[in-house]
Every structure is written in C-alpha cells, then in structure tokens.
Amino acid sequence: MRIVLSTLLLLVAGCSSKPNEVKEAASASKQDSTKPKITQFYASPNVVAPGERSLLCYGVENTTIVTMTPQTEDLTPSLSRCIEIHPTETTEYTLAAGGLGAAVTATTKVKVDNRIGHKKSTDASGKASAGLIRYFVANMPAVSKGQQVTMCYGTAGATSLTLDPPVQPVAPKDKICFSTTVNQTTTFTLTAKDGKGATDSHKLTIRAE
C-alpha cells in the first residue's frame, strides 16, 4: 500500500510541474518577441573618397530609442531607413536600439580611401558634371526567390529618370522608396538626365538565392 501511495504522489508531483514549465516557456517566448532587434545596419558604399557621400541604412523592431555613435543626425525607429553621411576619415559607426529596459547594438565601418576619385557624371559632350543620382540602395543585398526587396533613391537636378528593368515607375525625387519582388538575381540600372544633356547612372545588384 505504501508503495502504491508513493507512486501516486510522484505522479501527481510530476503532473503538477508541467503547467509551470509551459508557463515559464511561454513567458520566455513572449519576452523574446518584445526584445529590441536590429534587423539590418550597413553602409552603401562602404569605401569612399574623403568627403564623398555614403548611406548608412538601418532597420529596427520593438524599439523606442535609436541612437548612433558618432552622431550624424537624430534617428527614429524604422523598419527601413537610410541617412546620408560624408566621412573624411575611416569611421566605425555603432547603432544602439533600446526598449523595455534592454538594448542591442550593431556596428558597421566606412573606409575612406584617398586613392579613390570622386564619381562624376558626364553631359552630352563628355564633360564632367555634378552627380544627378545622390544614392540608389536596397534594404538587403540578397533575398530568397520571390521575396520582396525595398529600394530607395534620391536625385538632385535631374529632369527625367528611368529604371531598367522597369519594375516600377520612377521620377526625380529627393528621397523615395519602393518595393518589388525579385525572382532571380537582377542588376537594376537607374539613369538620370537633366535639361543640359548630362546623364548619371547607378547600378544595384540584388541576389536571389
């Protein structure tokens, strides 16, 4: 009789512990889903001439505060945002995202190379002119086949703009983003023109894996 009673007590103790284990696991999962996350943080391009433009692009989730060191401008939480920088020396940037008493960080580096010349566009006569495309970047360099990618561009002084392949109508804008589905590795070419015959072209390759 004692053996039977002891066995029953052990079974009851084992069963009573399971709800607590499930509750603890669910609580841990809930905490993980609300923790701040940095989904992306990169520079494009990551090697530039002194003072040349580069873009720092970032994406965060579950955050209330976003900061960057060294500070370039005030940041706000965003799934996909790019800011313009003009480093004069090689610089490592640190992005910090915080919320609910926790914080995460990520770093990226922009190398400044004196051997690189500043990019210039050309007009109809072949003379150098100021760049008409300020930037042309994507939120990720590679996606799964059939996945969407977000591309952003900005122009200055352009009167017309074309995109090849023409997956999206484009027009000269200071800053605009659009999304498109990528089914195979594709090189997108953005070409801008102004009223004086100058052209500027940027290429962006998205890998489909």
The two three-digit tokens of residue 41, written as one number: 């943080």
- CATH number for the domain spanning 57: value is 2.60.40.10
Q: 77-122: per-residue pLDDT in tens? A: 988 788 889 999 999 999 999 876 678 999 999 999 988 765 554 4
pLDDT value for 197: 87
Q: Which of 112, 143, 166 is the last residue of a domain?
A: 112
How confident is residue 21, by pLDDT bands cut at 50, 70 and 90?
low
The two three-digit tokens of residue 37, written as one number: 């996350």
pTM to 2 decimals?
Answer: 0.58
- Both 80 and 130 in a single domain? no
Q: 88-98: per-residue pLDDT in tens? A: 999 999 999 98
For the CA atoms of the chain, what is the radius of gyration?
A: 25
Report the alpha-carbon distance of residue 169 to residue 199 in Å, rounded.
Answer: 18
Domain containing residue 126: 121-208
- Both 79 and 157 in a single domain? no
Q: Are 117 and 135 in contact (CB under 8 A)?
A: no
Q: Is 185 helix (H, G, I), strand (E, B) or coil?
A: coil
Identify the CA nearest to 108 among candidates 177, 176, 38: 38
Q: Is 156 helix (H, G, I), strand (E, B) or coil?
A: coil
- Position 6 in a domain: no
- Both 92 and 131 in a single domain? no
- Both 89 and 127 in a single domain? no
Reported as half-sphere exposure (CB side, CA atoms, 13 A), residue 190 has a value of: 25
> Tokens 């706000």 — which residue?
76
Domain count, the chain: 2
Q: 30-86: per-residue pLDDT in tens? A: 556 688 999 889 887 888 889 888 888 888 999 989 999 998 888 989 887 888 899
Report the alpha-carbon distance of residue 68 to residue 116 in Å, rounded.
Answer: 26
Q: 115-142: per-residue pLDDT in tens? A: 876 555 444 444 444 579 988 888 778 8
- Give, for 90, the enclosing helix (H) or strand (E): none
DSSP label of 141: S
pLDDT value for 30: 52
